[in-house]
Amino acid sequence: MPSFEELLNTAQQKYQELSSGDTPWIRIGTAVCGHAAGSDDVINAISAELEKRGLQANISPVGCIGLCYAEPIVDIVKAGQPRVFFKNVSVDQVPELVDSYLVNNQIPREMALAYSGESSVDGVPSLDSLPMWKHQVRVAMRNCGEIDPTDIYQYIARGGYAALNKAISRMDPSEVVKEVQDSGLRGRGGAAFSTGTKWSFLVGSPGPTKYILCNCEEGDPGAYNDKGILESDPHTLVEGTILAGYATGASNGVVFIRHGHEGPIDRAQKAIDDCYELGLLGDNILGSEFSFHMEVSLTGESYVAGEETALMESVEGKRAMPRFRPPFPAQSGVWGLPTNINNIKTLSYVPEIISKGGEWFSNIGIERSKGTAILCISGNITRPGMIEVPMGITLKEIMEDVAGDAPGGHKLKFLQTGGPLGGVLSASEIDIPLDFEAMAQAGAILGSGGIIAADDRACAVDMTRLLIAFCQYESCGKCFPCRLGMTNLIEILERICKFESRPDDLALMRSVGQNMAGASLCGHGQLGWNPVQSALKFFPEEFEEHMEQKICRTGQCDGLMITPQRTRSRWTSAQPLELRI
């Protein structure tokens, strides 16, 4: 097997040919957002147009750079020229783009989004000046939109696997754990537990077979950053997992991905296969005594499968239902063996932490919330997409400076944060920092990073009903506080939305919610009261109007007769209106 130095030399030569040769380098976003916007057809059209004109170019499918509102994005680097990004490129625009820029060196400015590089482009803004870019500090997303996620050499050329080489050749496993502890990294899957501390639990468990599980179940409506990383830069997850294995003495890694997410599945598997081929996975990695093996495991469509003990059940081929604890995973996890479970984002930070040091990472962020947050912003906004910003920036800054106003002159009304188990925050109450403790105190959670914006056309009561409908459907049913509690909550909210509420419904919901929080087996039931509790806190007048005045100020609930159907995403109504969860 080649040494790391040999791999690096090969990678740098290949990357130099791509980025600074005479042949133009064309990168096209092919993550799910680009794919949905037609990037596959754009790639084919560009290839056909180049062949028709007898032109040469290197074409690389890349992941999502994060500017999802501008997809399909085509960016082109020509010799001696800055990198130019073109937005919302359609098949019909391809001949003009090729003719104007590749042939005549004239930038079609109506198509241009931004440029990146030392020299400027007249009439085109720099990438750093774009509203969605200017606040970003990219750590886990450093390669998103930059490299072909299926080309391991592009990852290595940009510093990939240098942290693994450093750890194996110059660091004791305990030193790796200490760097992660010193960094202040906390889990990015929702619980926000200290990653270094969690790793230390596994260190003390006996081997030789121990597991690192990477959780990419990601069933939250509005969250797609785990999938975005795997689609755009799967090697940062693979390298982070191997480092976790080295630090804890683990022997095996499993990437747990929801069935049907073909882009993340295919690219994660390709990254693992390539690592085996180059000696970065398997026995005696990079000539050392350390061995580590990885695989991809698929789960069915179950939101609860993201809970760490339910995840282990699913990996074992069982129904995804949470286990009683103790024993905890570090003592008895998957197949009864010591196990550590981390989120995709959490592990994706580790290579940079080991490369640059825990102190470097801890200098980003605020107080106990160190590093960056990867956010997925969607809903009624101008610029939906995925961003990585330092912890401590406020939600207000994100919504006003990054996401943009609601279309059509409407005003932001509330945010739904942290997934369906998170909270509903009034737009007047979002001047709070991205900080785990501050957000919890405000009645919300950061969770896995999904933020859904709703404008003044949305009904807070109806949104709460939709969230609880999702949670009720996704309850695994193992424990009755969650199984019955979710059912009771949705029944009450249905009555309120149909203007058929009873005088004691609010008191009944509070009682049910408190029982769920105190008696449910896992976080699904324990946090299931959050959406209702926060909506009652910020929008009590809307509940009062529905219950006492029998009106909905937005008209969303007027005459709405809703019958829940046992389908994943659809409810039927007497009106010609489709509501999606």
Please count the other Cβ atoms lying within 10 Å of the Cβ belonging to residue 228: 30
Q: Residue 516 contacts by C-beta under 8 Å, 6 or more apart in sequence?
A: 481, 482, 485, 486, 525, 526, 528, 529
Please state which CATH number belongs to domain 461-580: 1.20.1440.230
What pLDDT does residue 559 have? Answer: 55
Say what percent of the chain tops pLDDT 90. 84
| Six-digit token string for 474 | 């996704």
* pLDDT, tens only, 220-274: 888 999 999 999 999 999 999 999 999 999 999 999 998 888 999 999 999 999 9
| Cα distance between residue 252 and residue 256, in whole Å | 13
Domains 20-129 and 461-580 share a fold: no
The CATH architecture that domain 161-362 belongs to is: 3-Layer(aba) Sandwich (3.40)
Average of per-residue pLDDT values in the chain: 92
Residue 579 has pLDDT above 70, yes or no: no
| Six-digit token string for 176 | 């790796």
Indicate the domain borders of the chain. Answer: 20-129, 161-362, 372-455, 461-580
b/e 334-364 (16+ beta carbons within 10 angstroms → b): beebbbbbbbbbbbbbbbbbbbeebebbeeb
Judge residue 440's burial from the number of C-beta atoms within 10 Å of its C-beta, 0-12 exposed, 13-18 middle, 19 or more buried. middle
| Cα distance between residue 258 and residue 216, in whole Å | 7
Report the topology of domain 372-455.
Ubiquitin-like (UB roll) (3.10.20)
Greatest Cα pair distance, the chain, in angstroms, is 76
* pLDDT, tens only, 169-208: 999 999 999 999 999 999 998 788 999 999 999 999 998 9
Give residue 407's Cα distance to chain centre: 25
The answer to whether the CB of 233 falls within 8 A of the CB of 138 is: no
Question: Poorest-confidence range of 43-52, 409-418, 452-461, 561-570?
Answer: 561-570
Report the topology of domain 20-129.
Glutaredoxin (3.40.30)
The residue with greater pLDDT, 457 or 575, is 457
* pLDDT, tens only, 313-351: 999 999 999 999 899 999 999 999 999 999 999 999 999
Q: Residue 354 contacts by C-beta under 8 Å, 6 or more apart in sequence?
A: 163, 164, 166, 167, 171, 176, 179, 180, 243
Residue 75: its H or E element: strand 74-77
What pLDDT does residue 299 have? Answer: 82
Residue 567 has pLDDT above 80, yes or no: no
Residue 71 has pLDDT above 90, yes or no: yes
The answer to whether the CB of 312 falls within 8 A of the CB of 333 is: yes
